[in-house]
Amino acid sequence: MADDQPPSRRYKSPSDLSRSPPSSSSSPSPTTRHARITATSTTHSSSSQPQRRRNPPYLPTPAELALLAIYPSLLTFGALFSLLSPETRNAPYDHARQAHVQDYALAPSYFARKDNLFNVVFVKRGWAWVTAAFWVFVLTHPTVKHNGRRLARAAVRWGVVTVWWVFVTQWFFGPAIIDRGFRWSGGKCEVVEEQVFGQGEGGVREVVTAAACRASGGSWRGGHDISGHVFLLVLGSFFLVQEVGWVVARRARRLREERCVVMPDGAVKGAGVVADRGERQEGEAVLTVMDALGLGGRLAAAVVGLCGWMLLMTAIYFHTWFEKVSQTRCLKKVSPVRETCANVTTRQLTGLLVALAGLYVTYILPRWIPAMREIVGLPGI
């Protein structure tokens, strides 16, 4: 038996045990291993962030709502200022002209005078300034000027908003909507009414406009007169905010795309899906906001800022809610003055709403009407 090989050792040292693979008895079964993997995957899935809820395509985005809230805030602040400021509250007010007395010594502020430089040069030619700022921007900004499709659609949007401005303030198959609304609400031109009734030409009074009334030496009485100043300043400024803001935000990558659109098959997707493919492949460097604005964007920003300032001045000094407080005195006077006092108190609100109606058609409606979006497009896309 001496030639027999010694039997193999049945025990291993601790170092050998540490190097050897675990025994089959200690290894988990395939079923257990699969359960662990499944549990881990489930835990990871449950801890992941929920999918971000899309904004309804038929409503403004949160960023747009925040910007739109500036307008009623300015009007409200202006109304409160006109009520609380002793200089404004005690200054004599001409209800017929819907402005403070224009005498230099009696006007509460330079901006309460209709002949102030900003009113004469800027507000009276407001749409020309808005149009100039828009075209300087689209013809100089590299994101728009080198893309014929974007440029054409931007021109269409400018045309839509301009037509709405013309319809409301200049001409609507005859008198403008402002003039028609005043007449439909019972208003009249006081001097012309007397002349018409005296001559027996009743049909003439149906075509009287605000401009013709002033030219004849008369004044509007009785009806609701939409605030043309509020309408123009809101329409023009937010038009520029839309056209410049989305382009700059995408260029500088400062704002996550919030707009959603309805696709032809009815699916709701982020507006980025309708962007040009070439743009998504550009990989341009991230710019600062000032660089992304460019020359045209800075001009547009200046026009928007001036619109906001003049909107505040309008709310403080022209056809203000202060007149509502003065109605106690108005009601003691003759009927035409009483009617004027009673109807100017909501001019700012209707001017704001009429402007927002045109903006909704131009910028929100195309998001959920694909056929319209093919024509007018979306700013920045």
Element spanning 237, H or E: helix 228-252
How far is the C-alpha of 45 from the C-alpha of 39, rounded, in Å? 10
Catalytic residue among 95, 141, 224, 229: 229
Query: Would you say how long the chain is, in residues?
Result: 381
How far is the C-alpha of 110 from the C-alpha of 87, rounded, in Å? 12
How far is the C-alpha of 16 from the C-alpha of 11, rounded, in Å? 10
Which position has the token pair 């839509």?
160
| Residue 287 phi, psi dihedral angles, 5° rounding | -105, 160
How far is the C-alpha of 231 from the C-alpha of 327, rounded, in Å? 25
How far is the C-alpha of 109 from the C-alpha of 132, rounded, in Å? 29
How far is the C-alpha of 297 from the C-alpha of 285, rounded, in Å? 19
Partnered with residue 261 across adjacent β-strands are: 269
How far is the C-alpha of 50 from the C-alpha of 38, rounded, in Å? 20
- Any catalytic annotation for residue 319? yes
How far is the C-alpha of 210 from the C-alpha of 223, rounded, in Å? 12
Q: What is the rounded radius of gyration, in angstroms, for the C-alpha atoms of the chain?
A: 34
Element spanning 260, H or E: strand 260-262
Partnered with residue 81 across adjacent β-strands are: none
The candidate with the shortest Cα–Cα distance to 226, out of 173, 316, 174, 165, is: 165
The candidate with the shortest Cα–Cα distance to 367, out of 244, 270, 276, 262, is: 262
- For residue 33, the tally of other CB atoms under 10 A from its CB is 11
State how far Cα 202 lies from the chain centre.
43
- Any catalytic annotation for residue 229? yes
Q: Give the pairing of strands 99-100 and 188-189.
A: unpaired
Q: Catalytic residues, which ones?
A: 229, 319
